[in-house]
Chain A
Amino acid sequence: MAAKAGTKKIKEITENKMEPAKLGILLFIAAEMMFFAGLISAFLVFRFSPAPWPPEGQPRLPIAVTAVNTALLILSAFTFYKALELLRKGKKGMYLLLLVTTFLLGIQFLIIQGNEWMKMVQFGLSIHANPYGGFFYGLVGLHGIHVFGGVLALLWVLVRSLMGAYNAQKNLGVDICRTYWFFVVGLWPILFGLIYL
């Protein structure tokens, strides 16, 4: 009884199991998911209310162009995935090529989205007539800001890569950027399905 608490067998922790930055970005993404969950649940309240959706007199959203854009964004997640795998195998040339491809795909997504957005403004999709326009500009805009953030992070990783900061063993920065990019890409098909289709 006397020695019970003192000699209790407890596993000694020797090494840190996880990179702090990696855990940090995962938690950050969890918080972001709750943010978008809030927005999406608000959207669903309107989408499935008895009132007609979209409201009468509002332009239809461009499905075909955005579907192609969605496919290209998903492709960018694949190129980024491959890029880091190649870097981990020490193939730096191929890594840089795929990283640049990912970066360019990200930029083209933003350009096409911006272009479509401008067209919607011209077609008269109003932000203040009713929540329909509000959700389009709000949700698509917020996602666009997140993609823009991801593109900036990609640019940072690209510049650091050209300076030779990463190699097969040391590539945490690329990994974190990739994790965030997966989140940004993974979110889009959900928003596309809900808002456009």
Chain B
Amino acid sequence: MSQGHHQGFWTKYIFSTDHKMVARQFLLLALGMAVFGGFYAFLIRWQMAFPNQPAPFFGPVTPDKYNVIITMHGTIMLFFVGMPLLNAFPSNFLVPLMIGARDMAFPRLNMASFWMTVVAAILLMSSFFVPGGPAAAGWTGYAPLSASSEYTGVKIGAVLWLLSLAFVFISSSLGGINYLVTVVTMRAKGMSYSRIPLTVWFLLAAAFTFFLAAGPVLAGAFMLLMDNVFGTGFFLPFKGGEPLLWQHLFWFFGHPEVYVLFFPTLGFCLDIIAVFARKPIFGKKLIIGSTIAAIALSFVVWAHHMFVTGMNPTLVTPFAITTILISVPFAIIYVCMFMSLKGGSIRLEPPMIWVLGFLATFLVGGLTGIFLGAAGADIYLHATYFVIAHFHYTFFPSVFFGGYAAINYWYPKMFGRMLNKTAAILHFVLTFIFFNCTFWPLFIVGMGGMVRRIADPSFYPQFAIFSHLNVFATISAMCLISSQTIFLWNFFYSMKNGKKAELNPYESNTLEWLAQSPPPHGNWGPKLPVVTGDPYEYSQPGEASDWKSQSSYKGDAIHG
């Protein structure tokens, strides 16, 4: 292929088809959008702790603005931070490198997928400048609120929101097809399916789940768009429409989407655990089998988001059963992770610390999910802050702890430099403490009966007893958001000034560490690596060193 091939500024940095550049573009997009998502999180918390006092850098959070803010916070964090950070960025960067390919199967489709996401982000942000403002029906866009402008006063904003989501869904589906095709058709010699690292397996699981789930919600979005533009009334009761149908179509996608934002993190964690515990992964086949079971089950649990909507009560029990059942495969994977740690010679480097932090915090999110899957408990808890605390205890560890673990781990390969270790550890400690201080009180507040989706808590005198907890959570949230500046500084400062990274600083087995840091266009020298081993052959009895690379490829000797 094209070693030393000359690339102009535009083809190298902007309309790049190189999977590594597309990955970095997705990463920067995610970090940029996270600033907005974080700011809206701050505004929500501010209003909960100090109702109707002007928020710094913003002003008073009035009810109409509050609706916009929660809608934007959810939409941005899931589709413009979570998905780029956990799916697009690592899939683009790691899939070709870890399977020994030179690029994606469809590099131009890859570029198109990134720019479609940019168009989606522009559509979403442009809705701030149209009459009526941005969508305000929540990130779930429940009909009939979202189906007609008479409820929220938003018309153009709702259309832009739907178009933006459509672009993200299509772009992510096309991206997913690209990753799947790449793995099936472009593996290096010797890279059999059983030798593919778990990170790639889980990225594929996420891509596969997403592209099966995206169709129905796109269909729903199409119908909602027709309701908004042509007044078809699919979801409007007074025209004979079915508002609950939107929720069914949305959650049929929405629940698998939860795992789309969780699978990649499981993959990173398993690969990082193997490297930093110097042990093979415990029960690799069990993990893959559990993942397949979880994917299958994830398509038949969606109605547990709808227990309180007035859907047919006969359906509640089957959905409660499938929901509780889906915790079994994840429990198995969790146990496999702990067993992989057990007896290992653990190296507490920043990526490993993030993984351990993930294991501790996500567990809380996973276990509280069981309360919400049980219909009886859910009916009491569903409309309260307990749900907010629960899903932030799942999403935040998954997207941020998992995302930071991945960035810390693969940063040397991406930029050829090491992150500052002290800053990385400080960032972890502060994030870990303030994350728990932000969301733990919300469990208590929620169990006490404080309802979510309210714009002004001072309107309800019975919630006054929670104000000290709300203030504590808000101050913690502000500290949590501020702590992220340490990461941003470290990320950008180390790119130019970090310590030069060795090719394989963590003594890892997987293929990406054999390429140059950063890998050149085309990744490998004239010859592709030939794979001779399993990715998890650590501390094998009788071997001189405690690791054994998957290939004997000598990358640095060939590159000029």
- Report the stretch among B29-37, B118-126, B232-240 that lies at the interface: B232-240
**Are the CB atoms of B189 and A12 closer together than 8 Å?**
yes
**Are the CB atoms of A36 and B219 closer together than 8 Å?**
yes
**Are the CB atoms of A34 and B212 closer together than 8 Å?**
yes
CB distance from B217 to the nearest CB of A (A): 7
- Report the stretch among B306-314, B326-334, B366-374, B537-545 that lies at the interface: B537-545
**Are the CB atoms of B177 and A31 closer together than 8 Å?**
yes
Asked if A48 is at the interface (CB within 8 A of a chain B CB), the reply is: no
**Are the CB atoms of A23 and B245 closer together than 8 Å?**
no
Asked if A197 is at the interface (CB within 8 A of a chain B CB), the reply is: no
Asked if A39 is at the interface (CB within 8 A of a chain B CB), the reply is: yes
Contacts between chains A and B (CB distance < 8 A), count: 144
**Are the CB atoms of A31 and B106 closer together than 8 Å?**
no
How does the 8 Å CB contact mask read for B184-222 relative to A, with 1 for contact and 0 for none? 111101111011000000000000000111111111101
**Are the CB atoms of B186 and A130 closer together than 8 Å?**
no
A35-B219, A45-B242, A128-B230 known; A18 vs B211 contact (CB < 8 Å): no
Contact of A130 (CB < 8 Å), options: B182, B215, B226, B240: B240
What is the number of residues of chain B that contact chain A, defined by CB distance less than 8 Å?
Answer: 54
Contact of B239 (CB < 8 Å), options: A1, A24, A28, A129: A129
A2-B542, A38-B249 known; A10 vs B192 contact (CB < 8 Å): yes
Taking CB atoms, residues of chain B closer than 8 Å to A16 are 185-186
Closest B residue by C-beta to A142: B222
**Are the CB atoms of A20 and B106 closer together than 8 Å?**
yes
The docked-state distance in angstroms from the alpha carbon of A137 to that of B234 is 12
**Are the CB atoms of A24 and B106 closer together than 8 Å?**
yes
Closest B residue by C-beta to A129: B239
The docked-state distance in angstroms from the alpha carbon of A131 to that of B231 is 10
Asked if B361 is at the interface (CB within 8 A of a chain A CB), the reply is: no
Within 18-75 of A, Cβ neighbours of B (below 8 Å) are at 18-21, 23-24, 27-28, 30-39, 41-42, 45-46, 49, 51, 55
Closest B residue by C-beta to A16: B185
Asked if A134 is at the interface (CB within 8 A of a chain B CB), the reply is: yes
**Are the CB atoms of B230 and A20 closer together than 8 Å?**
no
**Are the CB atoms of B190 and A13 closer together than 8 Å?**
yes
**Are the CB atoms of A23 and B215 closer together than 8 Å?**
no
The docked-state distance in angstroms from the alpha carbon of A19 to that of B184 is 10
Asked if A150 is at the interface (CB within 8 A of a chain B CB), the reply is: no
A31-B214, A42-B234 known; A18 vs B185 contact (CB < 8 Å): yes
Give the size category of A's interface with B.
Answer: 35 or more
Asked if A5 is at the interface (CB within 8 A of a chain B CB), the reply is: yes
The docked-state distance in angstroms from the alpha carbon of A49 to that of B231 is 21
**Are the CB atoms of A13 and B192 closer together than 8 Å?**
yes
**Are the CB atoms of A1 and B180 closer together than 8 Å?**
no
Within 100-151 of A, Cβ neighbours of B (below 8 Å) are at 127-131, 133-134, 137-138, 142
Asked if B105 is at the interface (CB within 8 A of a chain A CB), the reply is: yes
Within 146-197 of B, Cβ neighbours of A (below 8 Å) are at 173-174, 177-178, 180-182, 184-187, 189-192, 194-195
Taking CB atoms, residues of chain B closer than 8 Å to A17 are 184-185
Asked if B534 is at the interface (CB within 8 A of a chain A CB), the reply is: yes
**Are the CB atoms of B192 and A11 closer together than 8 Å?**
yes
Taking CB atoms, residues of chain B closer than 8 Å to A14 are 189
Within 13-47 of B, Cβ neighbours of A (below 8 Å) are at none
Asked if A6 is at the interface (CB within 8 A of a chain B CB), the reply is: yes
Taking CB atoms, residues of chain A closer than 8 Å to B548 are 6
**Are the CB atoms of A38 and B186 closer together than 8 Å?**
no
Contact of B105 (CB < 8 Å), options: A24, A34, A55: A24
Taking CB atoms, residues of chain A closer than 8 Å to B109 are 24
Contact of B232 (CB < 8 Å), options: A8, A45, A49, A138: A138
CB distance from A151 to the nearest CB of B (A): 21
Asked if B223 is at the interface (CB within 8 A of a chain A CB), the reply is: yes
Asked if B241 is at the interface (CB within 8 A of a chain A CB), the reply is: yes
Asked if B533 is at the interface (CB within 8 A of a chain A CB), the reply is: yes
CB distance from A183 to the nearest CB of B (A): 13
Contact of A27 (CB < 8 Å), options: B181, B187, B242: B181
**Are the CB atoms of A35 and B240 closer together than 8 Å?**
no
Taking CB atoms, residues of chain B closer than 8 Å to A42 are 219-220, 223, 234, 245, 249
**Are the CB atoms of A20 and B185 closer together than 8 Å?**
yes
**Are the CB atoms of B106 and A131 closer together than 8 Å?**
no
Asked if A3 is at the interface (CB within 8 A of a chain B CB), the reply is: yes
A11-B192, A13-B191, A138-B232 known; A37 vs B215 contact (CB < 8 Å): yes
Closest A residue by C-beta to B234: A131
Q: Select the residue from A16, A36, A38 with max chain B CB neighbours within 10 A.
A: A38
Within 510-541 of B, Cβ neighbours of A (below 8 Å) are at 533-534, 537, 540-541
The docked-state distance in angstroms from the alpha carbon of A12 to that of B531 is 9
A24-B106, A36-B219 known; A2 vs B540 contact (CB < 8 Å): yes
**Are the CB atoms of B241 and A38 closer together than 8 Å?**
no
Within 130-183 of A, Cβ neighbours of B (below 8 Å) are at 130-131, 133-134, 137-138, 142
Closest 8 pairs (CB-CB, A-B) = A34-B215, A38-B219, A38-B216, A134-B232, A2-B542, A128-B231, A35-B215, A20-B105
Listed in ascending order, the chain A residues whose CB lies under 8 Å from chain B are 1-3, 5-6, 8, 10-14, 16-21, 23-24, 27-28, 30-39, 41-42, 45-46, 49, 51, 55, 127-131, 133-134, 137-138, 142
Given contact pairs A5-B280, A17-B184, A55-B240, a sample of 4 additional A-B residue pairs in the complex whose CB atoms are under 8 Å apart: A6-B540, A18-B185, A28-B177, A31-B212
- What are 8 A-B contacts with C-beta separation under 8 Å? A6-B540, A17-B185, A19-B185, A31-B215, A35-B214, A131-B234, A131-B239, A138-B232
